Amino acid sequence: MFDIVTIGGASRDVFFMTDKGRVINDLVHHQKILGFEHGSKVIPNDSKFTYGGGGLNAAVSFVKLGLSVSTLLNIGSEGSGSLIINSLHSYGVDIEHVNRDYVNHTAMSIIISIPGEDHIMFLYRGANDFLKVHDWRPLRAKWFYVASLTGDSADLLPEIFTFARSQGIKVAWNPGSEQLAGGYSDLSSFLEETAILSLNRSEAEELVRSRKRIKLGDEKLLLRELYNMTKGLVVITDGKNGSYATDGEKEYYMPASTYHKVLETTGAGDAFGSTFVAMKLLGYGTKHSMKAAAFNAGSVIEHIGAQDGLMTFNELSAKIESKNNG
């Protein structure tokens, strides 16, 4: 039996770091736009080929923190899929439940990143949209970690929760944008069976507003509304503003990690969510779990890519101890 099985997406990620783009304030639509000279050829200052996707990132994070991990992914049969298999194997993640898709290509992300600003991401979902499970019985675990599910893969949600209920498997859930678009009415039965719900601030507000129209300027109100949906542990990330959590009895706050220099933010959310869940599985309290999650997310954004900055359990423990004594 595994400690945890991750369920979600996997992708081949290509990063282009460039200072040729310009961030433009669109005053009409009240948003920022990343622009390049029309017709130009842009040579990046740096580039990196790596891997991403919520299910894949979480699997690597969990295994580096010392848990026994399997993962349920759908990847293509081409070379990119084989590279992902090799990467998982090198980390020690069980790959028995990774599907090879002979019709759809492995998902791909092209990330254009501007130093000191942010990034824009082009996503090809490919095989991620077509994850299927023909037999759930071999998936024996204490926990499921469910990341974003896109396209037809979202149809697995009822199966995931039904099987988890029948086997006494606890579910940690980080719903994706497609799930949240359905609102509370579509998600209520799943939320009621979620042991740990992880969302960022905007996602949390979207979910609460889909149930009732209320003013959400207060984090405690937001936490309370989400807890009433789940009766499980709720954690909300809010970027540089830190994170919030509640177990229904007490609210918690943790500042964002401040020791890092931001290089690229891709994967920070996956690092936080998976680290928080891992620490809870290992028996740590909510406050310590939030602190560890903040440090691991902080480490990720010091690197290009979603996985290189992920720390091992010993590295993370040493980092926390050094800061506590600093």
- Partners of residue 34 on adjacent β-strands: 23
**Which pLDDT belongs to residue 256?**
87
Confidence of residue 306 (pLDDT cuts 50, 70, 90): very high
- Average predicted confidence (pLDDT) for the chain: 92
- pLDDT band per the 50, 70, 90 thresholds, residue 24: confident
Q: What per-residue confidence (pLDDT) applies to 149?
A: 96
Lowest-confidence segment of 154-163, 285-294, 315-324 by average pLDDT: 315-324
Torsion from C-alpha of 260, 266, 272, 273, nearest 10 degrees: 180
Crossing angle of helices 201-209 and 219-230, in 10° steps, is 60
pLDDT in tens, 111-136: 998 876 678 899 999 999 999 999 99
Q: Is the pLDDT of residue 326 over 60?
A: no
- Which residue did the predictor score with more confidence, 186 or 215? 186
Residue 165 has pLDDT above 90, yes or no: yes
Q: What percent of the chain shows pLDDT beyond 70? A: 98
Cα(270)–Cα(12) distance, integer angstroms: 16
Q: Domain 2-325 adopts which CATH fold?
A: UDP-N-acetylmuramoyl-L-alanine:D-glutamate ligase (3.40.1190)
Least confident of 166-180, 199-213, 250-264: 250-264
pLDDT of 260 > 80? The answer is no
State how far the Cα of 69 lies from the Cα of 181, in Å rounded to an integer: 30
Residue 61 makes CB contacts below 8 A (sequence gap 6+) with 270, 271, 274, 275, 278, 296, 307, 310
d(CA 188, CA 288) in angstroms, rounded, equals 29
The residues spanned by each domain of the chain are: 2-325
For residue 10, the model assigns a pLDDT of 98
Tokens of 117: 């600003």
The tokens describing 208, both together, are: 């609460």
* Helix ranges, 195-238 (H): 201-209, 219-230
Segment 242-270 mean pLDDT: 88
- Judge whether 198 and 226 are in contact, CB under 8 Å: no
Return the pLDDT at 116: 66
Over the stretch 225-238, which tens digit does the pLDDT of each residue have? 999 999 899 999 99
Contacts of 283 (CB under 8 A, 6+ apart): none
Quote the pLDDT of residue 117.
65
